[in-house]
Structure 1
């Protein structure tokens, strides 16, 4: 609508709908009908429901007036879905309009039919669309090309059966560049939603696309360039040819065209062997990238995020342009932060003085976050450039002297890293740092300062006083600070074992074990306690071990991820710095009840009766540790002093040990070693959780490699996610030297629950009469909890799948898993109570639907997708219990190994 049409939005009459109905049916005044339709569109635009006028508006389609026809088509697109039976009335007019002498009307008819996502209309779209793809007018052909992509989204089989894909590919050879661009855009979109190759550029189509590139509109060029970026040149010569044809696009006014051209050049440069050509291309790419930084802030930010990736791959492109990344006073904060990142990446011995002057200036600005980032940037430059480290430190010291609290704290954090990077080089500044102790109030800064005091305690005369000042508030400190205080106090005690540190270490260990409920802190304290009480020399080796030198982190991205992101330059992927699959979720369809393969399982021949449970797949042979809990397995001393029985204290439970009785000597595959004999002073313990006949057992084996008889074995389990505890009386007979015993310990669940996020960690303590308590970690395989009642009927499965919201669906790839035979996999999973429901084919892959259930009636609806014999299985699951999904995937991956 034109600017004069604003009056149509200001109607406030009460009987508006009946009045509009009357105007729409006006037979004599054509202008009155057009005005009425405009009023209807205006009402629709502001959210009023004018669907009751559907028939009256459709009657206005029979007109020669192009403006009126466009308005009616706009109305139809909006309301056809809610009125599918009435929308069919418009089909004859669409078909007629698709053969109109006016090409604009032909294109409009086809475009509108493609936008109306109603099955009945789609059936009538094919013939007009086939005609329009071969129309004499290029405007009609380019509109029809996009319409094919829309139709593919509605009904992919129809598009393939009617030969539309071939017709689209023919349009790539069209003599009109806009038709070529739209055909490429449509094919690219279809390719994105298809799992098999549909649009592959050959050397023949390559030349057609490069020719069309010069004459397209800007967005046509973007479509073609993005498609060309998927083409891998056969050799260096072809790569040079592509780059030569694409380079002129670098001068384009549209930033999207520039970035798409940069993407192709970067990808093809990988194949170009001539260093002169590469150097020349780097020179050509710098000016257009710099020009992007003179655009408005939003475009600057997108450009900077892309440049951030480019300089990690090819720093030489902008090595001499660092000044364009200097921050202006009026840059938005998000632009400033991104410029800082790039300046760190481009900093070199040649330009570091300029860069440091800039950073020092930024560190005196008013925006606290920006100041922090600038101070940290100085430290990162020191770590990156060895020759400039001294200059960076002197700037940091100057900033500390300003006495601005948050500047001081940030400086201390980075100086700690500089000490790690250059050991025994800059420790003379510690005295200056200690002057700022009173101002520290942020956890990371406190932790850094405490680390410095502990690490260099022998050089600081009053180190014990400094640490004591922190210890006064130990119970109130955050976990990060408490952990550093604990370690620093142990370091001080080992370096200066005088009376002061002895009292401090007693107080700290007491605080960190008895007064805390943080398991990480408590476990670390117990390890230190045992080390100090049994073998102080071993404690020195562990605590005062040489630290690995830290390295420059300015190029943090893994090279394969970086290549992936560079191939997605000028898309959201390069702005988020994440691969597309990390944030784009393709449309997931629930299995359909009318799917022939899904509904009929008779031919698959799988047994529907549940199999007897057998041993679950063995977990990893090392002591299983969850990602968020440190390994709590101290090194065993050679000749330990008598130790107090810490079993109850460490496990946070009472000392009621489960006595054990006659072994049942279970047979089976070897168990994973959880306590090696080197750690257990000759005793080796192997174990894993298994399910037998609907009951969970701890299958445990003891190997006595000592010279003495071991007896009086006792076992205890710490609180855990599934509340597992010993549930029966089993006994290991006295174990003679050189012999072994294996037994099944019955387990009970949900008796011994730990709070917090679900974890597969199982902490175990084992004791005998001759040795100290041994602590080790095991993994709880979740499939041991899959119940025999996990089988679901197909209809129940479908209903359950549909009833759960999309937020409850998760998927994960198992890249190393292979399904060599569907039958064998189904049988193997059934043995662990993962029950087959149905299967169907999706192109060349098998899709298996399965179900499992854990106690308390929590179901897991499973969809496995894999090509037989090809590595890589995709596992999707829907479940009402989102918290258990990570453990579920862990279990499925181990079952599919």
Structure 2
């Protein structure tokens, strides 16, 4: 009964509340509480933007900018905001311009409405308004406005006020980024060249910055020319420019190739005072100039070099005493500098000792620099410091300190024993992570100095049960297996690890299999059961295919030919080398040219950061040629293939007599190219450098053939095969003579330039032709694989005639077992590099499976009437082409084809 009463009460109560609410709402409606003229915040803003009161309009624009800043969409107020452009209030004008810049891309058709106001503002008596107008027009990244920008920009470039001129100079670079052809046609680049002679240093610095930006982003050379007069102006403006201006000028001087050593010394003399500057970026830019000039042999005088090195030391030491963030950048750059010139800072190692309050990232970089600077004279001091660091509370820093001791031992053979003694002291401390790191380091020392410190093994084996890290376990197992014949209880020690074989990591399992096999080969009677047990366990109970495969390999070797097993497993191992160089030589040269930038901090190519790509060298030109008109459209980056086309090949080394110091150029190695293309190719180390193209290394050539997937019986490609009729498309160069060149020749047919077995199933047939004084490469891509081929791109190495592709490969996908033709237009405005023979062209092609390299001998008749190409050097073809065979294996990115 009570439940029913409660239910009836609740029902009645709910009905009463509902009725009361309805009556209350009706009463509120009768009193107009819900009727309002408000239609949202934008409605209020729109009304206030059209207010008759100036201050209200100004405050409203501020509110609009505030809403825009926090992410609210106020684009619907575009027309109302633009109305407020026509005002004398600079603050209000700046706010409106800021709004326009933000919404120009989303409302490009409405931006045109503001053009008249912009043009009017560029004629304003106030130079601040003129500069503000031209700056804003340059920041509107809209194609529709570029035509309206030209006349105001031309006036501002000639303005009487230097503030307006320096703003207009930067606007030229922005316009060039939007429309290169329009910028060149209107003579803005030539005007920038003239502005380098401006009387105001700020204008000079901005003109240099704009020209450098244009020169870096364009494939057309000659956009930025420097003669004696311009160089004198740059050096004069250096002392009077702002910090930012000095950095721009110094960067340009680093890119400039001096005419001779005397001019280089003059530049260095004028730049040396910049080392005293309080700004760290200016100091690093000055250091970059010196390093580039010494690295490229622009300066060869030993006396001058010693003077530069002496002058560079104090400012670098000062940078290490600055704020932590500046210290980090300085230390990263110092590490690069020391890899090039280890005589710098060799007396200042105490500066790099870690302080207790240094951040961890600074401490780790200081460790790297100390390893670079350690030598026979200071090794005791360095080891004492490292030993002290091993008592720190930061575990990661302690581990790195222990590894630093091992790296010093590997670097300095004379100090190896002292390093080992320090490591033994650390092992005796019984600190677990120190002990395990020391064992890892000792493994490397044994690799470097085999059979030198065998007495240490006893101390290492005493700590067997303390190990719990896979790397430490694997290192100790390797040591036991390597010296099994000298350890009486080696079988017992390995049995300790064998008990928990299934629970160990793959690193430990692999090392344990090899160690027990070594023990069996050295002491068959002791390890008979162990080797049987571990091979059975690995092949039957392990899911890891690497473990199973290694066990199967050892099992088959032992069961078929024990002597061959000894030759394989117990082979003499090459000693490891000191790892003081952390980047390849080619990448190091590029990073030296980018000191003080993100590239030199991250140790990555500048192209990864959207920065300077390719060859940024600026060459000297005669004074009378400085005012020549600049014509032609610079090449633009081809969408979708930036990874391949934004990078240059290594320069193939010309004959020594043809390499003046002023023509040296930095190299970008194949390692960097393959890394950017996500190619799984191991680092080639120093073999990437090309020293003597006429005497190729067989090992390097074999490495290339392995990379390209060629068959094992073709370890090298002879010059005669490259010059054969099948590859050259000339019917053989051996029989070519001048009479044949003067008579009309039949149209050459396509030849296979990249066989399918070398292109992972992609076959390329091509022929070079000339029509109406234009060059073309007719290509046929054949897909011999079972999967589609896509992302096809092509690039030429620097060559005698400056041939470069003018368009991307217009093929999206090639179906399996299909083929597609494409005619590639070619230009002759690319970088020039004298080749041997002169008609040699080296080509790289990329697709979704990888990158492939090949070369082709161009037909000489292709260039007979080409007047714009460089004159071809004298050479002759004999019936017997063996005289030229040795020179045809030119280097492509440091590797030989």
TM-score (norm 2): 0.69
Query: Which of residues 265, 273, 281 in structure 2 aligns to 1:248?
Result: 273
SS in 1 for 2:808: strand
1:622 aligns to what? none
Q: Tell me by how many angstroms 1:508 deviates.
A: 2.0
Query: Which of residues 297, 301, 304 in structure 1 aligns to 2:328?
Result: 301
| 1:41–1:71 Cα contact (<8 Å) kept | yes
Q: Tell me by how many angstroms 1:381 deviates.
A: 0.6
1:474 aligns to what? 501
Distance change in 2, residues 1:448/1:839 (3 Å): closer
| 2:843–2:855 Cα contact (<8 Å) kept | no
Instruction: Provide, for residues 843-884 of structure 1, a one-character-per-residue CA deviation record: whole Å limited to 9, x for no partner.
Output: 8634321244456x999999989768774546565xxxxxxx
1:316-465 pair list within 5 angstroms: 316-465=343-492
Q: Tell me by how many angstroms 1:497 deviates.
A: 1.6
Q: Tell me by how many angstroms 1:85 deviates.
A: 2.8
Residue range with higher mean Cα deviation, 309-318 or 862-871 = 862-871
2:225 aligns to what? 200
SS in 1 for 2:100: helix
Q: Tell me by how many angstroms 1:588 deviates.
A: 6.1
Query: Which of residues 821, 844, 850 in structure 2 aligns to 1:889?
Result: 850
List gaps (5 residues or longer) in structure 1: 1-12, 593-625, 629-670, 677-777, 787-813, 878-884
Looking at structure 2, the residues matched to 558 and 589 of structure 1 have their Cα atoms a distance apart, in angstroms, of 28
Distance change in 2, residues 1:835/1:466 (3 Å): closer
User: Are residue 121 (structure 1) and residue 74 (structure 2) matched?
Assistant: no
Looking at structure 1, the residues matched to 778 and 546 of structure 2 have their Cα atoms a distance apart, in angstroms, of 40
Tell me: higher relative CO, structure 1 or 2? Use CA pairs within 8 A at least 6 residues apart: 2
Q: Tell me by how many angstroms 1:78 deviates.
A: 1.8
Looking at structure 1, the residues matched to 470 and 598 of structure 2 have their Cα atoms a distance apart, in angstroms, of 35
| 1:464–1:501 Cα contact (<8 Å) kept | yes
2:101 aligns to what? 77
Distance change in 2, residues 1:76/1:581 (3 Å): closer
1:608 aligns to what? none
Q: Tell me by how many angstroms 1:154 deviates.
A: 1.4
1:290 aligns to what? 317
Query: Which of residues 260, 271, 278 in structure 1 aligns to 2:285?
Result: 260
Looking at structure 2, the residues matched to 174 and 365 of structure 1 have their Cα atoms a distance apart, in angstroms, of 58
Looking at structure 2, the residues matched to 268 and 396 of structure 1 have their Cα atoms a distance apart, in angstroms, of 42
Query: Which of residues 103, 119, 124 in structure 2 aligns to 1:95?
Result: 119
Instruction: Provide, for residues 499-526 of structure 1, a one-character-per-residue CA deviation record: whole Å limited to 9, x for no partner.
Output: x311111112222333334444333333
| 2:778–2:822 Cα contact (<8 Å) kept | no
| 2:352–2:366 Cα contact (<8 Å) kept | yes
List gaps (5 residues or longer) in structure 2: 1-37, 614-635, 642-679, 683-708, 715-755, 770-774, 797-802, 829-838, 857-896
1:860-875 pair list within 5 angstroms: 871=841, 873=843, 875=845
2:809 aligns to what? 848
| 1:864–1:873 Cα contact (<8 Å) kept | no
Distance change in 2, residues 1:838/1:675 (3 Å): closer
Residue range with higher mean Cα deviation, 430-439 or 269-278 = 269-278
Q: Tell me by how many angstroms 1:827 deviates.
A: 3.1
User: Are residue 150 (structure 1) and residue 174 (structure 2) matched?
Assistant: yes
Distance change in 2, residues 1:75/1:17 (3 Å): same
2:201 aligns to what? 177
Q: CA RMSD in A?
A: 3.6
Distance change in 2, residues 1:298/1:464 (3 Å): same
Query: Which of residues 40, 48, 53 in structure 1 aligns to 2:77?
Result: 53
Query: Which of residues 525, 531, 548 in structure 2 aligns to 1:505?
Result: 531
Looking at structure 2, the residues matched to 316 and 388 of structure 1 have their Cα atoms a distance apart, in angstroms, of 20
SS in 1 for 2:337: helix
Distance change in 2, residues 1:439/1:825 (3 Å): farther
Query: Which of residues 752, 761, 774 in structure 2 aligns to 1:783?
Result: 761
Instruction: Provide, for residues 73-99 of structure 1, a one-character-per-residue CA deviation record: whole Å limited to 9, x for no partner.
Output: 222222233333332221111111111
SS in 1 for 2:211: helix
Looking at structure 1, the residues matched to 826 and 545 of structure 2 have their Cα atoms a distance apart, in angstroms, of 41
Looking at structure 1, the residues matched to 271 and 315 of structure 2 have their Cα atoms a distance apart, in angstroms, of 13
Instruction: Provide, for residues 191-250 of structure 1, a one-character-per-residue CA deviation record: whole Å limited to 9, x for no partner.
Output: 222112222333432222111111100001111111111112222222211111001111
Q: Tell me by how many angstroms 1:310 deviates.
A: 0.6
Number of residue pairs the alignment of both structures matches:
667
Looking at structure 1, the residues matched to 810 and 140 of structure 2 have their Cα atoms a distance apart, in angstroms, of 33
Q: Tell me by how many angstroms 1:143 deviates.
A: 0.5
